[in-house]
Structure 1
Amino acid sequence: MVRIILVRHGQTEWNVTGRYQGQEDTPLSAYGREQGEKLARSLKDIPFDVCLSSPLQRAFITAKLCADLHNLSVEKDERLTEIHHGDWGGRLTEEIESLYADEFKAWHKAPHTVKMPGAGGESLEDVRKRVRPAFDDYAARFAGKTVLVAAHDAVNKVIVCDLLGMGIDKFWQIKQDNTCINVLEEQDGKWRLVLLNSTLHMGYLFSTTDQKGL
């Protein structure tokens, strides 16, 4: 069996303002780093053997804060990079809604049908096609181990949907707060969800905040 502790990165200023990040390499805010430190302390006594992260700094620094308390290095995996937002990247939610009204509406009603407009833009299926093989690799490489994986909102939602056999049309039915903890286990080719979107290390059971941008 392999156990995956899947976390989302700490907060960035773009998360707060509702600016779409995607593959823009935005840093953690001061509060985001504080969130990462709280996450690390909450996992200090939870043994894990390997630490993997998206190469984007907001995820990598979140992972490193956790890994440092276990004297582990962090391995970057490009497949964990957040969805590429194409022309939406760097734009505020309100601006996207105004300029791309039909696509924006579809993104919130039927996200599996949308490919982000512009150069490099991805669909959720594009994300699934690169992230699922990564998790299959982890199951093969790290049998018998516990692995910390630090990634992103869309990545986490897509992989949870896929591993549980849910269509990615269920994307918006899963919430991923900053530095949330998810636990997934694989045995004999079957995945199960043990924990989803836990934020108890932040001092609350659930957040009432829904971020506008990813």
Structure 2
Amino acid sequence: MATTRFILVRHGETTWNKEGRYQGQIDTPLTPFGRQQGQLAAAALKDVPIDACYASPLSRAVDTAMMCVAAHGLPVNTDNRLLEINHGEWEGLLSDEVGKTYPELLVQWKTTVVGVTMPGPGGEDITAVRDRAMAAFRELAAKHQGQTVLVVAHDAVNKAVLCDILDIDLTHFWQIKQDNTCINVFEYQDGKWRLVLMNSTTHLGFLYSGIEQKGL
């Protein structure tokens, strides 16, 4: 089987990223700075061969993806399996607000992650997010053998996917960082994954950001 190469990008900064709110599947827009990040990611990928592009259907991912493939003349295909984790009742809240209502659950989420189902209608756990996202990646790996595929998704999705391809438990979720418009590269061949690059931000002008995500 020919190798499928994935370029996995996180979307640019949103209004709620900036405010530190849990956004989940609420469709929050990119900030002007988030659009600038998207353009910088696009410049970094301009000369990289890309054969197909997929994104979460949320506008922050689609808009970032459209910038990244504008020079390649490719359409952006959306896939619901790449949606961010549904935070249920936490969506739209600041971390401090979540902590007042769900102090024990927030501590569990910030430590073990696994076993935490977000409260309220539609709330997900990280295992379900990993399972749906990896189903998409396995399908794309088979569909695009020998090609390079750009995927634009979200913080929790990216972390869960990276845990899976590294064959490490989701309890290592918080040991992986995903900055806005970071670039990850990994490959799939003969049933095995290989990580090539993770959380690269040099296109943004720095080796590491020092920015901590407040709303995840």
**TM-score band (shorter)?**
over 0.9
Partner of 2:15: 13
Match of 2:72 among 66, 70, 73: 70
Partner of 2:37: 35
Shift of 1:122: 0.2
Deviations 1:124-183, CA, capped at 9 Å, x for gaps? 011012111101001100000000000000000000101111111110000000000000
Partner of 1:149: 151
Residue pair 1:82, 1:154 contacting (<8 A) in 2 also? yes
The answer on 1:111 being equivalent to 2:113 is yes
Equivalents in 2 of 1:130, 1:113: separation in Å? Answer: 17
> Where does the alignment leave 5 or more consecutive residues of structure 1 unmatched?
none
Equivalents in 2 of 1:135, 1:118: separation in Å? Answer: 28
The letter of the residue matching 1:34 is: Q
The letter of the residue matching 1:19 is: R
Aligned residues: 214
Partner of 1:198: 200
Shift of 1:113: 1.9
| Alignment RMSD | 0.6
SS at match of 2:72: coil
Equivalents in 1 of 2:155, 2:130: separation in Å? Answer: 13
The letter of the residue matching 2:49 is: P
Equivalents in 1 of 2:112, 2:103: separation in Å? Answer: 14
Shift of 1:211: 1.3
Residue pair 1:16, 1:211 contacting (<8 A) in 2 also? no
Equivalents in 2 of 1:80, 1:122: separation in Å? Answer: 13
Equivalents in 2 of 1:20, 1:186: separation in Å? Answer: 32
- The runs of at least 4 aligned residues of structure 1 exceeding 6 Å deviation read none
> Where does the alignment leave 5 or more consecutive residues of structure 2 unmatched?
none
TM-score by length of 1: 0.99
Residue pair 1:54, 1:78 contacting (<8 A) in 2 also? yes
TM-score by length of 2: 0.98
Partner of 2:123: 121
Match of 2:212 among 202, 210, 213: 210
Equivalents in 1 of 2:116, 2:36: separation in Å? Answer: 34
Partner of 1:51: 53
Percent of aligned pairs with the same residue? 55
Partner of 2:189: 187
